[in-house]
Amino acid sequence: MPNKVKVYGKAQSRTALGIANAYLIINPDVTLDELNAAFPGSLNSANRCDTIFIDVNDAEKFTNSEGKSNYEMFFFEKEDEVLTLKNGQKVAMQQLWQKEDFDKLVEWVKQYGIEVVECKPIEGFQKGGFSLEYDAAAIAAAAQSAAAEPAAKPEPQPAPKQEEPAPTEEKKEKKCLWWLWLLLIIAIIILIILLLRGCNKEQPAVVEPEPVAPAVVDTVAPADTVEAIQKEFNAAQFAAAQTKLTDESKKVLDDLAEMLKKHPNVKLLIVGHASSDGTQAFNQKLSVERAKVAADYLISAGIEQDRIKTEGRGSSEPIDKEHRELNRRTEFVVLE
């Protein structure tokens, strides 16, 4: 199928949202059920429900063990992110996409004429986004062509069947003799095979079963898991001179906890950092406390304590000298 819409994205989750918007451009009359049929839930292994798209009115279904809603953690829920169908229904799309699932999604939508041209990674605390490139006139023309039903062609009528003359007695006799000869030949072949098997019958050799090699369990974290942790989750920020986690940082750590639960062999080093606002001694102590706060949050989310180490580096490793707020952070380093 020729490409109808091209998607240019930044960050996997935002590019996935761009793919959904591209599908609505090609199929403006689609319903929620049809949308979920076009994008089956099996495309996303991190699904929090059976479908990738839900009605925003069903948000109250997504609550954690404390009874608090975590809908905004798993779905695009802001006004500029929600999809609006032609019937006025508001639809939210799942926003957590691992690299393997995202690659499946990109391949899947090629059948709909959607091509993902690029998906750039984000750096620091930048926000992702997407842009679409398409020919509106060409898409409208294709839709009109598909809507037009071609005139039904009359089915060809079979030619009248001519009756064959009744077979004569001579023909019946020849046909009967042909079947007899065939049965006789088959019987002779079967007899020869049985005789040969009886002559060549030997005791079957005893085959020793080959020893089965013990299964090797891979305890090393997959490369895409390491990349996801060190790039997508490497962003837990703090206010100036504070060790209290922001709401945005808690979302980052909740997602990181889910990733760690799926890969129980992964161990982390949490490194705390501070801006250059205070003294060197104060910043060192502050960075150590920030790392411990992030570690305690992960442990409270169900991650084993022996999988997490902490370290503080004060203000010695700034990532942006002009924007000090970006330096008040923790970073996650995969140890194994």
User: 49, 74 in Cβ contact below 8 A?
Assistant: no
Write out pLDDT tens, residues 37-86: 999 988 988 766 778 999 988 877 766 555 556 666 678 888 889 999 99
Give me the residue label for tokens 């994205």.
9
Given a cut of 60, whether residue 201 has pLDDT beyond it is: no
More confident residue, 1 or 237: 237
More confident residue, 149 or 288: 288
pTM of the model: 0.46
How high does pLDDT run on average in the chain?
Answer: 78
Q: What is the pLDDT of residue 96?
A: 82
Q: What is the pLDDT of residue 135?
A: 82
**DSSP tag of 327:** G
Given a cut of 80, whether residue 215 has pLDDT beyond it is: no
Q: What is the pLDDT of residue 137?
A: 75
Q: What is the pLDDT of residue 325?
A: 75
- Edge-to-edge strands, sheet with 268-272: 236-237, 329-334, 268-272, 308-312
Q: Tell me which of 113, 147, 181 is where a domain ends.
A: 147
Helices marked H in the chain: 12-26, 32-38, 71-74, 99-108, 136-147, 169-199, 223-227, 247-262, 280-300
Q: What token pair was written down for 138?
A: 């060409």
Given a cut of 90, whether residue 304 has pLDDT beyond it is: yes
Same domain, residue pair 21 and 137: yes
- What spatial distance separates the first Cα and last Cα of the chain, rounded to whole Å? 44
Same domain, residue pair 140 and 22: yes
CATH number at residue 264: 3.30.1330.60
Q: Is 152 a member of any domain?
A: no
Same domain, residue pair 323 and 233: yes
What is the rounded distance in angstroms from the CA atom of residue 82 to the CA atom of residue 63? 20
Q: Is 26 a member of any domain?
A: yes
Give the contacts of 319 (CB within 8 A, at least 6 positions apart).
124, 326, 327, 329
If one counts the domains in the chain, the total is: 2
What integer is the mean pLDDT of 261-289? 88
Q: What is the pLDDT of residue 213?
A: 45
Given a cut of 90, whether residue 223 has pLDDT beyond it is: no
Given a cut of 70, whether residue 211 has pLDDT beyond it is: no
Boundaries of domain holding 46: 5-147
More confident residue, 189 or 212: 189
For residue 166, how many other CB atoms are within 10 A of its CB? Answer: 7
Q: Is 161 a member of any domain?
A: no
User: 6, 133 in Cβ contact below 8 A?
Assistant: yes
Q: What token pair was written down for 39?
A: 């994008």
Given a cut of 80, whether residue 312 has pLDDT beyond it is: yes
Same domain, residue pair 9 and 143: yes
Identify the three-state secondary structure at position 196: helix
Q: Is 297 a member of any domain?
A: yes
Q: What is the pLDDT of residue 323?
A: 76
Write out pLDDT tens, residues 144-189: 776 665 544 444 444 444 444 555 555 555 556 777 888 889 989 9
What is the rounded distance in angstroms from the CA atom of residue 309 to the CA atom of residue 301? 16
Same domain, residue pair 229 and 136: no
Same domain, residue pair 143 and 233: no
